[in-house]
Amino acid sequence: MQVLKFGGTSVANAENIKKVITIVSDAIKKEPTIVVVSALGGVTDLLLDAATLASQGKETYIEKLNLIEQRHKDCINNLVGESAKSPLIQILEKACTELNNLCDGLFMLGELTLRSKDKIASYGEKLSSQIIAAAFNDKNIETIWKDSRKVILTNSNYGSAAVDFTVTNSKIKDYIKSTNKQLYIFPGFIASDANDITTTLGRGGSDYTAAILAAALNVNSLEIWTDVSGMMTADPRLSSNAKIIPQISYQEAMELSHFGAKVIYPPTIQPVMSKNIPVWIKNTFAPEDYGTVISNDLHLFGNAKTESDNIVRGISSVNNICLLTLEGSGMIGIPGFSKRLFEALSNEKINVILITQSSSEHSITVAIDGAFASKASQAVDAAFVNEIALQKVDSLKIEKDLSIVALVGENMRNHTGVSGRMFSAMGRNGINIRAIAQGSSEKNISAVIHTSDVKKTINVLHEEFFETTYKLVNVFIAGVGNVGSKLLAQLHHQATFLQEKMRLNIKVTGIINSTRMLIEESGIDLEYWKQSVDEGVRADLSEFVQQIISLNLRNTIFVDITANESVAEVYHKLLQKSIAVVACNKVAASSPYNNYRKLKDLSREYNAQFLFETNVGAGLPIIGTINDLMHSGDRIHKIEAVLSGTLNFVFNNYDGKNKFSDVVKQAQIEGYTEPDPRLDLGGKDVMRKIMILARESGMQLEMEHIANNSFMPEACMQGSVEDFYASMHDQENHFKQLFDDAHSKGNILKFVASYENGKAAVGLQHINPQNDLYHLYGKDNVVLFYTDRYKEQPLVIKGAGAGAEVTASGVFADIIRASKF
């Protein structure tokens, strides 16, 4: 024999019930079958709403009752033939009359007891089961309907009655033995007490009914048919990558269901677990799907596409948790405090979900349902009123808006480092853990976190333990001009490579430019990003940053490809939320040293990368090399460098015959200059770059400490950019004289930055052919490092130091570094 249970969505309407009939028709060909059904989807809530409204004196309860009647009439009319309709309509009308009378009584009394609620709620299952039984008979499938109240006996704890299994098991066996039919229909959820008064079995009651019947008859299997294809590795509403769990043990299923997995409830498993009856979770709307089998003998189900090698079986969560902390110096070494705390909660019928206590005995923390926070506070403070008055114990501390996230899996006990991986993954994403608990059986590791972090945590842990295919990275980009556009093109082009070779899925989730902004949590289509951004909302940097923080997505990286000071000023807010920052913008790293240091410290404190490789040398690995040298114990004594691709391009292309202003204009057209070329030609940009290198080398350097031997006439540095070009044209003799002086000595001109013994300087220099800086062409940069290890022959880094493509590739490289951190 087998037991099949169908939930509310499976029997919500006639169309769905027809699917149930098809499934059951196939099942009874194999062996005798008991079918347990819930009320039509949503009817139980309607019944309880009607009762509540009636007890509150609100006549709108009549509308609810009319809706209930119409739901069942529609079901009957669309499900059975004319000959079967009449008796069903009579049953329905009789039930509706009784319901109206009951609610009329509640309306007059103004009171709703638990006993009355049980009585009214029971009509949902009574009606649905009789309709479904009639539908089977209407199709010439001999079916017996049995009222569960006649065989399941409970105590009188209305709302969540406890089953008397001795009497119940005997009644079930006797009934089935006396009838011996192929198909039975039982209403779920309902039972009766010794006085034959209707009771209900509480949350998940229909599943429980099915399990009680299955265990009493020691059936071959119990099938729970619902609207999902089994238990999942995580809540699919929170994690889009959640997977079906093909096989799971009873203990693992109970752990997952206790911590919020809604597919099955813990009481359901208990009766069948002792009999080792396998429980299948199946999908009424996809009956061909394998589903999930719950059993301690998983090896018997070899056809499953097993993932039994997974260390973790699933991730679950429960919300609306509050933490209660009792602490005080008077607790240390004194027995009985825990006992009194739990007694105070028990007396108020408050269930403790999680317990943790410091080894110093100075405090004990428990997690409870947030709905009981106020009641718990009063009860505990009353229990310890004397100790609180004597200041031996503090008043109960309550923390709200919390949730529990739990890793579940029996394999965890056989592997070291699971908790380390869990907490490291959460830490990398800035998820603060308020409390932790792990049983000695190691089936469950629980962490209490802020409710706003639940979705992020579920995804972080699911990625860590289940998603071996790729790591999802959410990128938000500020600035999509020349470099930004190239970066988006590179990200789009490399997407497949990154997934296949590096297991990275870099998703551009947000873009902001000077006028518009767009955030798409599902990701922006990089094929059409320009059109999408143009159709976005008005740009507001503060709102953009706030949305990044509010979305609280895992593995988030903010990329700044502007030269805007206001964008750099938001870095600290992002780093404090463990959001990595990749900056092409030099403003932050060249800001006053205290701010630079603050950002570096925030990066370390909140475990969020702050990377700015492209601040110096575009895509050249200059800053990365400094970090490698410093981390490996080397010391940098001297730096010589040509750090401006713009100036190198200008002096490599200016020959005294063409106009200096024309060469600068060409550099701007080709994208080598800053938006305002004076930052390059005046030496300020190079000053910022050598200062960044000196700071990364360990020096505390400010801009005013750097000597700038500028070659630009002061007149050229005034007014607008247009004035700048006009003034350069007027000063052509000055620039030609600079070229001629160098050329006459067989030298060339290079704008050189240097750092030695704590001092830094920038300026135009004559470079002879023997100098390491001589053979530098086009827009190339070169950096020479003299260190403890590179004393006589410097470490040289040389290559293109300007250009949108190479700069974008440097930003891209920083994104990958931050992604793999």
Locate tokens 């609180």: which residue? Answer: 388
CA distance 338 to 369: 19
CA neighbor of 121 nearest in space, from 95, 157, 153, 89: 95
Neighbouring C-beta atoms of residue 399, cutoff 10 Å: 18
In contact, 510 and 477? CB cutoff 8 Å: yes
Give the burial string for 454-491 (b: 16+ CB within 10 Å, else e).
bbbbbbbbbbbbbbeebbbbbbbbbbbebbbbbbbebb
CA distance 767 to 651: 12
Angle between helices 622-631 and 684-696 (to 10 degrees): 20
In contact, 214 and 173? CB cutoff 8 Å: no
CA neighbor of 3 nearest in space, from 227, 237, 277: 277
CA neighbor of 570 nearest in space, from 651, 479, 507: 479
In contact, 270 and 207? CB cutoff 8 Å: no
Q: Is 456 a catalytic residue?
A: no
CA distance 742 to 654: 12
18 by Cβ neighbours in 10 Å (0-12 / 13-18 / 19+) ranks as: middle
Those residues with Cβ within 8 angstroms of residue 191's Cβ, 6 or more apart along the chain or in another chain: 148, 149, 152, 153, 154, 161, 163, 198, 199, 200, 201, 209
CA distance 463 to 820: 13
**What DSSP string runs through 384-400?**
THHHHHTTSSPPPEEEE
- Strand partners for 528: none
CA distance 437 to 255: 13
Of 577, 689, 750, 779, the catalytic one is 689
CA distance 92 to 424: 58
694 by Cβ neighbours in 10 Å (0-12 / 13-18 / 19+) ranks as: buried
In contact, 486 and 804? CB cutoff 8 Å: yes
**What DSSP string runs through 264-295?**
S-HHHHHHHHTTT--EEEEETT-TTS--EEE-
CA distance 732 to 735: 5
In the structure encoding, which two tokens stand for residue 103, read together? 């609610």
Active site residues: 689
